[in-house]
A and B are shown apart, each in its own frame.
Chain A
Amino acid sequence: MDRNKFEVVLRTENKKIFNYLLKILRNREDAEDLLQEVFISFYKKMDNVNEKTYIPYLFRTAYHKSLNLIKSRKKKEKFSQHYEDLENIAKYEDKIETDDKSELIRKCMRKLPEKQAFILEMQFYQKMSYKEIAELLLTTPSAIDSKLVRAKKKLKKIILQEMKENPVHNSRGEIYE
């Protein structure tokens, strides 16, 4: 394994993966933990991954790892006696963090189904084509197209809901200028 090559990939691509994780996970600690897991797992498999597909590979790993984390968290919360407390903490965290526009976007993205959020991330933020995303998810470009349409419609609903709950965002022109 080429450690120097790994370090170059880590330093150039970590920001993209970290911000994707921030958008879909509830807190920073989870994003930081998963970022470490993603890169360590990448390091172990690096020799078997084509250099041209390093970035899609990293995103796919991040997607699957975050999906597992979200699922296990949902399961835990379902059986937790402190479910309501956790919810209240999350609400409180949301309240203190939504001053930041990026945090507001993250908050809305987190409410999207994981797959839709992933496709939106790949298309909108990573500028991947429908064809590239389709190859990554083993599906067709037209399926990606319809998923993106659904994702944006859902996102619109989420934003409108957010505006209703926190009119301050709208009055500051953060949503829908």
Chain B
Amino acid sequence: MSRIFKCKYAKKLNAYIDSELSKKEFTKIQEHLKDCLYCQKEIREINKINAFLSGYQNEDVPENLNEKILSSVGKHSINERKAIFLRRVSRLSIAASILFSLFSGIILSNITFSNNSTLSAENTEIEFAQDSLYDYLLVEE
């Protein structure tokens, strides 16, 4: 009985069957297969596995599953729209509060400025009155 030795080309056989080799390599293996008993046996084994796997028949997806997915996605859309709306509202409210604080700052500073000028005028008047009184008292003396 002749003994079959492991062949160095054996690792290329799967790619050979899957048509993943270059044309040159493919022809080389094709030629090699004519004489190599080991590779012939390996090819038969790979073909058996492939034939076994080919027996698989795809099952249909239960129709209610598609509907479930579509309704979840619909809910997601509604939630997302809500989230977008809330995000916009919060951004708007931040912008509004910044604007409000800016305007109120400006208004407050204007009020303070005008108050200060009124006060300083009043102070001048008081000082003037004090000076006049002082002058009058001095004259009286």
Interface residues of A (CB under 8 A from B): 1, 3, 6-7, 10-11, 14-16, 18-19, 22-23, 32, 35-36, 39-40, 43-44, 101-102, 105-106, 108, 120, 123-125, 129-130, 141, 145-146, 148-149, 152, 155-156, 159, 174-177
Contacts and interface: CB of A to CB of B under 8 A. Distances in A.
Interface SS, B side: helix
Interface residues of B, number: 31
Given A129-B20, A130-B18, A145-B14, A124 B55 contact: no
B45 interface: yes
Given A18-B59, A35-B61, A124-B50, 9 more contacts: A14-B61, A14-B65, A15-B60, A15-B61, A22-B59, A40-B72, A125-B53, A149-B14, A155-B49
Interface of B: 11, 14-15, 18, 20, 45-46, 48-53, 55-62, 65-66, 68-70, 72-74, 76-77
In terms of DSSP, what is the predominant structure of the interface of chain A? Answer: helix
Top 5 A-B residue pairs of the complex, sorted by shortest distance between their CB atoms: A105-B56, A18-B61, A14-B61, A19-B58, A101-B55
